[in-house]
Chains A and B, each alone.
Chain A
Amino acid sequence: MALSDLDLSCRIGALTLQNPVLTASGTFGYGREFESFVNLHRLGAVVVKGISLAPRRGNPPPRVVETACGMLNAIGLENVGVERFLAEKMDYLRGMRATVIVNILGDSVEEYAELAGLLDGVAGIAAIEVNISCPNVKKGGVAFGTDPKMAAAVTKAVKGATKLPVIIKLSPNVTDIALMAKAVEAAGADAVSLINTLLGMAIDIRSRRPRLANVVGGLSGPAIKPVALRMVWQVARAVQIPVIGIGGIATAEDALEFLIAGASAIEVGTANFINPRACEDILNGIGAYLEANKMTSVRELVGSLAV
């Protein structure tokens, strides 16, 4: 069977993606940064860097530090703001025929809703992913992502402001992530994606100072994969809406684990920094696996975990 005969498509609410390999927000810029490495139109979707109403300058440096099999970041949600994003970044993505999912963040429920409204109806935007979980900005996502009521309120407000499919991106820094997933499902979310980074820190023992200027930051990369996989499995069993798996995915094998655990699609994050071609490599690897296992559709795999 030729690779092109495989059905790799997946459904996220009303949205059908050509394949389940997406980029994770904040690790793929606005797409163009990868133009010489990846065919953007081949990806399931490009999820762009988190966008806020006003531009944000982010946290002071140092903002990143490597840790065992992972990295901590405290970027502080630096972004160009929604106005410049629409004016300067979307044309290119449309021209590349990329499927674009815009990740949004806000300080208040109203800000999330306003952002969603501004993105509604913009040509080339396929869905909105709502970051309710970024641990880096003091005023930012923490409260929304760790409280089921607040998370539901944001979901409802965003749903009310746009006709686009809405994906709520969950924080792992909670006791019961399935509870959070159920709360946003009940509030109307079309899908959930998880996980965002795990809150962590690192210390320079010579100076006895934190390695990040922000003291704490988000842990990502292969180190978090087992935790992410466990959470995806728990959430997939708890909700009816599609689940997008994120966390430490660097190879096709990693991605397959998430699909088997119940994810309908996956996002590739930190791996893009190490192998800028990671998304396409993973996509090709998933196809090869399906073929080797005589499967015709990736959906046969989703949630096929035998326990």
Chain B
Amino acid sequence: MAPMQLKAEILRRETLAPDLIRLTFLAPDLAAAARPGQFLMLRAGAVRDPLLRRPLSIHQITTSGWVQVLFKVVGQGTRLLAALAPGQTLDVVGPLGNHFALKSGGNLCLIGGGMGIAPLYFLARELQRRNPPERVVPLLGARTAKELRPLADDFVALGLEPRLATDDGTLGHHGLVIDHLSELLVSGKPWHIYTCGPYPMMRAVVKLCREQGWHCQVSLETMMACGISACLGCAIPAAQLDGPYKHVCKDGPVFGAEEVAWL
């Protein structure tokens, strides 16, 4: 589906936790075209600080044409997006990039850390339609309960049973989300893994998958100037280190773990 550029009306702005924002906007054509794993390039208006659009994953879509993004306020771009109120317009380019391959059957595990959880919710909903709920296992981690609970609740509402971890131990396991991987190992079953989150987390997941021979899809981030494969700024090293670079906005953001270098 070709990307589009549109102005969308903000329907709702929710502050799920301090600096954790969920924006809902109306964009029926976009909602109809969007696939889990794809992203949008967003701009709060005709501002020049920041100059460039900001990439955010598609967090959720509805059949009524609503689209949601979920993000952390970390700088000026996300601050301006967070300041948008219902009735105001959001400048959107998307949907962009490739998407997760949706599996039917097998044992599926979604591993998300921090804002990496944002695209995994859209993915979980699509997988849950195609698979029995006990076959879709989310492992979710964040810094603290305040951030994790609202996100985890949404996975529970889908009928899934997320295993949780927080850095400060305020919700679920006190430690890293990857500590839950031992549960997959003792199951003795082969797993198909989807993961998005901080690089060290994904690298650890990929390492385990390689050892176990499990298939693994990762969603990666880079700095992006355009998001539409025009600038070639989003290069990352491919698995074959001296080969051509991969471009996250075009070849990704979803990659098979074996396609890219893990440095």
Contacts and interface: CB of A to CB of B under 8 A. Distances in A.
Interface stretch (A22-30, A92-100, A161-169, A255-263): A22-30
A177 to B, nearest CB: 25
A285 to B, nearest CB: 14
Contacts of B232: 26, 49, 58, 63, 75, 78
Contacts of B93: 276
B74 interface: no
B51 A69 contact: yes
Given A57-B245, A69-B51, A274-B53, A27 B230 contact: yes
B198 interface: no
A34 interface: yes
Contacts of B245: 57-58, 61, 78
Interface residues of A, number: 36
Contact of B230 (A28, A65, A68): A28
A29 B229 contact: yes
A37 B3 CA distance: 8
B2 A64 contact: no
A62 B237 CA distance: 11
Range for the number of chain B residues in contact with chain A: 20 to 34
Interface-central residue, B223, B228, B230, B236, by most chain A CB under 10 Å: B230
B157 interface: no
A204 interface: no
Contacts of A275: 5
Contacts of A62: 222-223
A34 B222 contact: no
B50 interface: yes
Contact of B228 (A34, A55, A73): A34
A5 interface: no
A107 to B, nearest CB: 19
A205 B234 CA distance: 22
A274 B224 CA distance: 11
Given A27-B230, A273-B52, A274-B52, A58 B235 contact: yes
Contacts of A64: 223-225, 231, 233-234
Nearest to A75: B232
B90 to A, nearest CB: 14
B43 interface: yes
B77 to A, nearest CB: 9
A65 B50 CA distance: 12
B65 interface: no
B182 to A, nearest CB: 33
A66 interface: yes
A33 B5 contact: no
B189 interface: no
B2 A35 contact: yes
B101 interface: no
Interface in B217-263: 222-226, 228-237, 243-245
A261 B222 CA distance: 39
A272 interface: yes
Interface string B1-36: 011110000000000000000000000000000000
B160 to A, nearest CB: 35
Contacts of B222: 61-62
A63 B236 CA distance: 10
B221 to A, nearest CB: 12
Contacts of B43: 274
A63 B2 CA distance: 26
B129 interface: no
A60 B229 CA distance: 17
Contact of B231 (A61, A75, A222): A75
Nearest to B4: A36
Contacts of B183: none
A182 to B, nearest CB: 33
A221 interface: yes
B49 interface: yes
Nearest to B236: A61
A277 interface: yes
A117 interface: no
B235 A63 contact: yes
Interface in A45-63: 49, 55, 57-58, 60-63
A28 B225 CA distance: 12
24 contacts: A29-B230, A33-B230, A34-B228, A36-B3, A36-B4, A49-B232, A57-B244, A58-B235, A60-B237, A61-B234, A61-B245, A63-B232, A63-B234, A63-B235, A64-B231, A65-B223, A69-B49, A69-B51, A75-B231, A221-B51, A270-B51, A273-B53, A273-B225, A274-B51
Given A26-B232, A58-B235, 15 more contacts: A29-B229, A37-B3, A61-B237, A62-B222, A63-B235, A64-B223, A66-B50, A66-B51, A66-B52, A69-B48, A73-B231, A75-B232, A270-B51, A273-B53, A273-B225
Interface of B: 2-5, 43, 48-53, 93, 222-226, 228-237, 243-245
Top 5 A-B residue pairs of the complex, sorted by shortest distance between their CB atoms: A64-B233, A36-B2, A273-B226, A29-B230, A64-B225
